[in-house]
Amino acid sequence: MGGSAVSRLIAISNRVAVPKAGKSAGGLAVGVLSALAEHGGIWFGWSGKTTETEPSETKRSRSGKIEFVTIDLNADDFEAYYNGFSNNSLWPLLHFMLGYFSFRRSQYAAYCRVNEFFARRLIPILEPDDLIWVHDYHLFPLGASLRQAGVVQPIGFFLHVPFPNFDVLRALPCYTQILNALAAYNVVGFQTDRDLWSFQDCMTQPEIGGRLHDDGRITAFGRTFKAEVFPIGIDVEECQRVAVENFENEELMRLGASLENRKLIIGVDRLDYSKGLELRFRGFETLLESYPATRGCVTFMQIAPPTRAGVRTYDQIRGELEKAAGNINGRFAQIDWMPIRYLNRGYSRELLMAIFRRAAVGLVTPIRDGMNLVAKEYVASQDPKDPGVPVLSTLCGAARELTDAVLVNPFDRQGVADGLQKAIEMPLHERRAIHASMIATLRKNDIHAWTRRFIESLSTP
C-alpha cells in the first residue's frame, strides 16, 4: 500500500475516552484523538462498563470525523485481564519494578480471551483499505488474534510505556508468547531508542532466534516487520492557548493570592508507584533542610488524582504519601505557610495548564516512565518572557528530548534538592535560553509529527 493512498484509520486501545468537557485526557487519549482528528476513522475499545453475562453488541457514536465504537466486557474476565495480568504482571514488569510483579496463569488466560474478544468484535467493522493502529500493553496479542482470523491489512502497534531488557522480561513466564505476538504487527513503535534497543535485544536472543537486518527490520517467528522509535509529543500551540486563556481563572487567582509572593513548585501525576511520589516529597524535604532560605519562600503543590481505586498497592501509596506530607508539614510549617499542598483529586486540563504557567518549577521525577507528557506540557505552558524551569527525572523518556531541563535522579534526594535549588535560583536570561531550546524541540516532535510519522511507516511496505 503506497503512502499516498487515503486510508481509514482504526485506532484500538483498552479504553475509549470519548471527550468530555473539563476532563483532563491522558497521553494515550490525547495521541489517539489527535491522530483520528487529522486522519478520520474509528476509535475502538472497552466502554468502561462490565456485564455479568456475555457482553452485548457494540455501541457507536460520532464526533466530527471520529466514530467511537465501544464494547462492554464480562466482569470476571475484565478483573483478571485488567487488574490482574495487565496491572499486576505487565505494568510492574514494563517499568522494571519486579518487587510489585506477580503472575497467575488464569489471569494470563483471561488476558488472551479478552484480546480474542476484541478481535472478534472488530473484524465486522474493518474495510479492505483500513490502517489498524493498536495501542499499549493491554493489547499485545491483538494483532496475532486478527492475523489468525485472516486480517491482512497493515497493523501497527505503539507501546506508550517503557520496554524492559531481556533479563527483566524473562521474569514473565509467557514472555516468548508476548514476543511472538508482537511479531504479528507490520510496525512496532517505541517512545525512545533505549526501548527499541531492549526490544531488538530480546528478539535476537538465541532462544528466540530473531535476526536484525541492516535497515532496522527484524525477522522473528516467521515474520519480518519494522521496529522504530516514535517519541509521542503534545499539541504545543493548544497547550499555550489553554494556559493563556485560563490564566485569569478564578481558582488560579485564589491560588495566586494564597501563595502571596512565594514561588510555586508543581507536580501532577497519577497516583502510581512508578511516579516516585514519596521520593519526590523527601527530595523537597531535603531542599528545606539543605537550603533554609527556601523555607517560607517556596510552596510545593502535588496534584495526584486517585487511580485504580480499591487495588491494595494504590491504597498503600496513598497512605504513605499522606503520611509523608503530614510529616514534612509538621516539621517545617509556619503560622502563615504550609510547605506541601497535597491534592488527591483530579482537575480540568484548562486549570492545570494555567497552574503550570503560574509555577516557577515543574517537578517531574518518575522512577520510570515511557515518555511523560506532563513535562512537555509544563514547558509548553510557560510564558516565554518569564518561563519556569522543569526539574526532570533522567529515568523518563522526556529526558531524552528535554536535555536542557534540570535533570535529576529521583533516588538521590540531595540531587533532587540541589536540582530544585538550581531551578529556583536560575537567572532570567538562562531560563529564557533553555525554554526557547526546549520549545523548538517540542515543536519539531509535536503530536502531529508523531501521528504522521507512524502512519507513514505503517502505510509504506
Query: Domain of 363?
Result: 236-444
Q: Provide the percentage of residues in the chain whose pLDDT is more than 70.
A: 96
Structural domain contains residue 361: yes
Model confidence pLDDT, tens digit, residues 258-299:
999 999 999 999 999 999 999 999 999 999 999 999 999 999
Whether 1 is in a domain gets the answer no
Q: Is the pLDDT of residue 192 over 90?
A: yes
Q: Which range is least confidently modeled, 111-115, 180-184, 309-313, 407-411?
A: 309-313
**What is the structure's pLDDT at 17?**
79
Residue 3 confidence (pLDDT): 40
Instruction: Say if residue 163 is in the same domain as residue 245.
Output: no
Can you give the pTM of this predicted structure? Answer: 0.94
Res. 1: pLDDT tops 50:
no
Q: Is the pLDDT of residue 84 over 90?
A: yes
pLDDT value, residue 307: 75
pLDDT at 310 over 70: no
Domain match, 241 and 388 both:
yes
Asked if the structure places residue 101 within a domain, the reply is: yes
The reported pLDDT for the residue numbered 120 is: 95
Angle at CA 11, nearest 5°, toward 10 and 13? Answer: 145
Q: Give the pLDDT confidence of 140-157 residue by residue, as tens digits.
A: 999 999 999 999 999 999
Average pLDDT of 437-441?
98
* Maximum separation of any 2 CA atoms in the chain, in Å: 69
The arithmetic mean of pLDDT across residues 46-60, rounded, is 88
Q: Looking at residue 34, what is its pLDDT?
A: 81
Residues 357/382, Cβ–Cβ less than 8 Å: yes
| Model confidence at 309: pLDDT above 70 | no
**Whether residue 243 sits in one domain with residue 161:** no
d(CA 329, CA 338) in angstroms, rounded, equals: 6
113 and 157, same domain (yes or no): yes
Instruction: Retrieve residue 405's grid coordinates.
Output: 531541563
Q: What average pLDDT does this structure show over 398-416? A: 98
Beta-ladder partners of 157: 134, 188
Q: What is the dihedral of CA 273, 279, 281, 287, to 10 degrees?
A: -160
Predicted pLDDT at 315: 82
The Cα 52–Cα 9 span in angstroms is 32
User: Are 240 and 191 in a shared domain?
Assistant: no
Q: Does the pLDDT value for residue 364 go beyond 60?
A: yes
The mean pLDDT of the chain is: 93
pLDDT at 2: 39
pLDDT band at 4 (very low <50, low <70, confident <90, very high): very low
Pick from 404, 389, 393: nearest CA to 440: 404
Q: 461 or 205: which carries more pLDDT confidence?
A: 205
Residue 133 CA to residue 460 CA, distance in Å, equals: 14
| Cβ contact 357:383 at 8 Å | yes
Between these two residues, 5 and 381, which has the higher pLDDT value? 381
Shared domain check, 327 and 227? no
pLDDT value for 312: 67
- The pLDDT score that the predictor gives to residue 356 is 98
Q: What are the cell numbers at 433?
A: 535560553
pLDDT band at 25 (very low <50, low <70, confident <90, very high): low
Its sign, for the CA torsion 31, 398, 85, 112, is positive
Q: H or E segment at 358?
A: helix 349-358
User: Is there a domain that residue 91 lies in?
Assistant: yes
339 and 433 both lie in a single domain: yes
Residue 249 in any domain: the answer is yes
pLDDT band at 39 (very low <50, low <70, confident <90, very high): confident
213 and 252 fall within a common domain:
no
Please tell me whether residues 127 and 247 are part of one structural domain: no
Is 252 found in the same domain as 338? yes
The residues that are catalytic are 160, 369
pLDDT at residue number 117 = 96
> Is 248 found in the same domain as 142?
no
CB 117 within 8 A of CB 14: no
Closest CA to 342 of 306, 381, 390, 289: 306
Instruction: Evaluate whether residue 3 is within a structural domain.
Output: no
- Alpha carbon 138 to its chain centroid, in Å, reads 14
Inside any domain, residue 2? no
Residue 6 pLDDT: 64
Q: Looking at the domain assignment, is residue 198 inside a domain?
A: yes
User: What is the pLDDT, as a whole number, of residue 53?
Assistant: 85
| pLDDT greater than 50 at residue 414 | yes
Confidence of residue 15 (pLDDT cuts 50, 70, 90): very high
User: What is the pLDDT at residue 28?
Assistant: 76
Count up the domains in the chain and report the number: 2
Residues 354 and 205 both lie in one domain: no
Question: What would the mean pLDDT of 240-265 be, rounded to a whole number?
Answer: 95
Rounded to 5 degrees, φ, ψ at 161 are -105, 175
| Mean local confidence (pLDDT), 183-205 | 98
The CATH number for 101's domain is 3.40.50.2000
